Every structure is written in structure tokens, then in C-alpha cells.
Chains A and B, each alone.
Chain A
Amino acid sequence: MKTITCDQFHHFLYSIREDFEIVGPVILHDGTLSLGRLTAEPLALFAGRIPFRFTSLFFPHSERLFAMSDEYRFDKSGSSAKPLLVVGWRAEDLEALEFIDEFFRTGFRDDVFCDRRQSSVVIGVSGRCGVNGEFCRISEGKCDMELIYDGKHFIMAEYTENGRFLSEKIVWGEETDSLEALLQESRALRTPEREILQTASQLLMRNQVDDDFWAEIADRCIQCTSCTNVCPTCTCFDVYDMRLKRKIERYRMWDSCQMSGFMREASGHNPLASQSDRTRRRIRHKLVDDLHRWGRMTCFLCGRCDDVCPTGIGMKAVAAEIVERFG
């Protein structure tokens, strides 16, 4: 395995700027950590996890599907010329990405997502890269290349052709054999939260969580939709038209199952009519339904919804409450 320092890695990024659009963690105007283009400032690779839905890079808040002129001619927005190179995602982020890749690819291919995703290269960051040097789990795959921080250097692990292609371009670095120890440490990380989630999932599957519980949680939901908007595995969207002067444009944008209009039909029938139905769905969908359909729970415990929920009913909080009450 080769190592590279953070500075060297940035030198490398600057050297390939012509070929890639490089995106990674940046600090915005007021100190908010976000995803942004590489500028003269180094990327904030040690600033913690990006609080926003990082998958918005491939599945943005709103996007135009097409425009159609009044002569019924279609105009599709072209994709950007350069492939994307994304740096700085954590193991749980990569798991989420892996899931939505599968989701958008399986069955009917969602070409809007897939085209954008296809040409991108993803570099994960793990190891001792936490805000205070704490250990972040190593994904051991699920990206093109992973930079595993040992406290001084990044150890480069390439997992795909793209990863090896990039790695070959990196001329710096020394060989190291310290990866094995870091892997041991990563695999030994305890994840009590995952156990709670699994227990909650089983309780839900066995229908041991009563309606009163959901009503209680629902009373505390102010329907801000922040949870579904920051969740990296929430993929629901709405499609709508804009009527412009001589054309119409069709857009899709993030939707939220926490709104009563989400499933309401023109007839007025609404399978998710009450907030307690909707709260129940928000949790069950990730912990039970996706387990049935996709073979795994689709909450990867990134904690974004818990961080943004203004009333403390994010996924981890609700799962913990389920286990405490019904476990």
C-alpha cells in the first residue's frame, strides 16, 4: 500500500483539475460544512461528516427532466463535460450510496441519476480522520478508492479500475504495511446503535409497536421535512411541470412522505392520511420494508436526521424509544 500526505493529495487533486470536476467537503460562508468545488482552500477532510444530503450531487434537490417547446420538440439538459471526482465520504455514506446506486439501477434504469453517477469517481476517507482524531470506520470497498488516515498519512486503498487509474497517477508516497492494524481496529469498532436498530426492526416486523406509540411520536412532528431531505437513502421525488411562455419544463424535486399530499390521489383517497401513518412509514420503510425488498435495512446510522430533527424524533431516537418501550 502506498501512503500520501494530505498536502500531497491536494497537489495531486490540483494536477487533475483539468480532467475532473473535483468536489469535496468545504466550509461555507458562516462555517457550515458542505460539499463544494475544490478551490484554493484545501478540502475540509477532517471536519466531520457533511451534514447535508451528500447524495444530492447525483440526485439534486430539484432538476429539469426536459423542456418541450410549443412545437413539441424536446430539449434535454446536457450533462457536464467533465467527470465528477468526489472526495471525503465516510463508510456509512458509501453504504448509502451503494444502496441508492442499486435502487436507481435495478428494474427500470433511472437514467437521470445513472448517467450522472456513471461517470463519477468516489474517494472515501476513513481511519483517524474524525474531528478530534477519532477513528472512522473503513468501508473496505463501496468506492473507487479509500484514503485511510493513520494519523499522519493517508494510506491509499484502490478498489476499482478507476481507483487504480488514479492511484497510478500519484507519484508521491511510500509503501507501508500499517493498513492491517488499522483494519483490525476498524473491524473491532462496536456498534451498539446497529443492534438497537436491528432490535427495533424485529419489533416492527412482529407488529409489536402499537398505534398509540406512533400517534405520540406524530404529535411531536412539525412536518418540517428536514429528516427526509437530509437522508441519503430517501429517494422519493415529485414530478411537476412549469408552464413558461413558449415551452413547458418538467422537473423533479425531492418529495417527503411526511406531507399529507404525498400519497393523496385526485379522488381524495389518501393511504397516508394521518401524521401517525406517515411517521410510522418513515421508520418502517427503512427498517422493515426495505429489508424485505432490498435485503437490508436502509438506515446506515449516519445520524443526519437525528441531528436536524427539531423535536428529537430522528431515526436513532425513535428506534431507541421502540426498543426501550417494546423490547
Chain B
Amino acid sequence: MVMQVISGHLGWVRSVAFDPSNNWFCTGSADRTIKVYNCVIGSYRFSLSLFFSPLLIWDVASGRLKLTLTGHIEQIRGLAVSSKHTYMFSAGDDKQVKCWDLEQNKVIRSYHGHLSGVYCLALHPTIDILLTGGRDSVCRVWDIRTKMQIFALSGHDNTVCSVFTRPTDPQIVTGSHDTTIKFWDLRYGKTMSTLTHHKKSVRAMAPHPKEHSFASASADNIKKFSLPKGEFLHNMLSQQKTIINTMAVNEDGVMATGGDNGSLWFWDWRSGHNFQQAQTIVQPGSLDSEAGIYALSYDVTGTRLISCEADKTIKMWKEDETATEQTHPLNFKPPKDIRRF
């Protein structure tokens, strides 16, 4: 199922974001660079280096170096590409949130205010605002244009490590290391609801692209909630038994979760059944302990999955079209009772 392995970064690859046009994707790494890859062949397109090291931009066709830029000084933990503007947003451990203009490949804005590392980043789908959550246990709402901090959504007791936004209420959902998930009312910057179902920190959340529900992953369980109100739906039927760093869902209801031990599990969204368990193979020369998945993302069509890993590689996963019932026997033994807690 692994289609391609791209190894270009010099450090852990911590974040990934797809271009809305599905032509390219960018990855942010612990080597302080953002690299932009062409989606079609996975060829290195360009990279935005952020500490005075060269930021390499490669031409799609010829693979030549096009541009060199500078920027972040710590690892990049969050990336997002705007669908309305030619902007890309990056956030890193250096407390900086930057707005890159992809026409000039330059930092054109930086959003100053986080008191500690920024761990997650999200763009609002309809309004021009940017959401960042960080180690200062605050989710900050920024006006993209004016760089103004509109709200500091404080209420979490620990690092805010996951955030996603929706066009309707609740417009912001944050997950934190204090094991809670909070819904926020964007109009007033107030909490709408707090979900305390998790026992361990909620490091990853993923809304379903169509249904009004989202799943949240912590080290103990992956839970599914309905959305407008945040009613608890159910747990996933098995436990990955590792720290889950990231998760992604596509429209077909295939949810992928990436663990800190390099396990990549695939789940059925509806039933919560784990139908496949994959394990990444570290690139030669890495330690076994360097098997770890930090970021996962489906492309816009939801056919390809990209995983960013601790062995400094980016792996592209694809559905195996030749898979049949015979080659991949489905063993579905649902548990007698679903775990509730």
C-alpha cells in the first residue's frame, strides 16, 4: 500500500498540508524547513527553509532549484494552505506564526502573540481568520489581514495540541493535553461545551468531511462525537495502544491514525472497526525507535494518504486496487460490548 517514499528533510517531518488545487503539498519539519512537493509524482517542488539555511524552491518540470528564502528558527508544527488566497500559513515551536505569500514565496505577515511553542494551526473555511493553539494552553484567533489577535480562547489547563474549525457552530473545536475537548463560540470567544470523555491528552482530532461528527484520538481510545452538540457517539472498537499523534478521515469513511510507534491503523468510520494495521518501515540508516508518524493527511480527493514520519521521510500511501476479499481477508469480530469509557 506504500506507494512512494520521499526523503528530503533533514529532521522529523512534523506537519503536512495540501494545496486546495491538489497540485502540491507542503511539509514542515524539525529541520526548520517547509518543503513543497509536487503531488503528481511526488517530486520535490520547492522547499521553504526557515533558518538562514537555504529555502529551496524547485521547478516542477525540471526539478531545478528556483528560490531561496528564510524564516522559522524552530521546528514547524502546523501548516495550512488557504483556499481563498495565495497564502500558506505555518506555525512552529519558535512561537511564530507566519503567513507566506506563494506568489512571492516570502513571509508577508507574522502573527505575534504566542507565549510558547505553537502546536496546531487551522484556517476558518468561510471567514478570514486563523486559529493557532500552543503550549501556552491558549487557542488564539487571528485576523489574517490585520494580524490582530481577535480572541485568546483560554480555558484549557494544558497545551492545546489540536484544533479544527467548521463553518457552523461550534466553529472552533480544540483538543488539549488536559484531556478535554472544548467547543468555542466564535462570536463571543466563549466556551460552548467541554467534553471530558478522554483520559489522556487529545492529540489528534478529525472532522468527517461530510457527516456532522468528528473523531478524537488520545492514547487510551479513539472516540467519535456528533457535532452540533458534541454528543458522545461511540469508541472505536479496538485500541491502538500507543500515543496517537495524528488522524485523518476521507469521504469514503476510511480513518487513518498514526501512532508514535510507527503504527498506521485504518478504521471504518461508521462501525469503528479497525480493518487494517500497517507499520511503517523506517528508512535505512534510521533507528527502530525512529518509527513514528507525526502527521497524516489525505489529498483533496481522498485517494492518497501522506504520512510524515520521524525517520525524516514522507510516505505516500495508496489504496490497493487489486485487493480482494481473498488477498485481504476481513476478519470482523465485533466485541460483545463496546467500551464506553
B and A form one assembly: no
Task: Please list the residues of chain A having a beta carbon within 8 angstroms of any beta carbon in chain B.
Answer: none
Task: Please list the residues of chain B having a beta carbon within 8 angstroms of any beta carbon in chain A.
Answer: none
